[in-house]
Amino acid sequence: MVDRVSYTEEAAELLRRLTEIHGPLMFHQSGGCCDGSSPMCYPDGEFKTGNADIQLGDLAVAGLARPISFWMSKNQYEYWKHTHLTVDVVKGRGSGFSVEAPEGVRFLIRSRLFSDQESEALGLL
């Protein structure tokens, strides 16, 4: 099985800390209106997803009881469907909407194109 989304260890450390503060979390990949294309992290269920969104996967972070769902709008997915996303964290203040904003860091997406083998396994070829 090919994962569409993963995370760095730095992101995992922050996610564990944020889960202690806010409870279970979720991500929605921003379309660019508020904070570029940064992934926005919310308490689980605070961002309402619907028929216009697709769940790319669940981040199973060691030390957390529940995985963190990762969502994106279907329209944006059409542009990104050939891309593996990695959630990372960098210093600097991001959007006030995302739970990491007061921490002086922000989540960031690093991406790469899927290999031919990954694309075939995902049914993209």
| Whether residue 37 has pLDDT greater than 90 | no
**Residue 121 DSSP SS3:** helix
Q: What is the pLDDT of residue 52?
A: 93
| Whether residue 110 has pLDDT greater than 90 | yes
Q: By 3-state DSSP, what share of the chain in percent is helix, strand and coil, each rounded to 5?
A: 25, 35, 40
**Number of alpha carbons in the 13 Å side-chain half-sphere of residue 55:** 11
Confidence class of residue 36 from pLDDT cuts 50, 70 and 90?
Answer: low
| Whether residue 18 has pLDDT greater than 70 | yes
| Whether residue 103 has pLDDT greater than 60 | yes
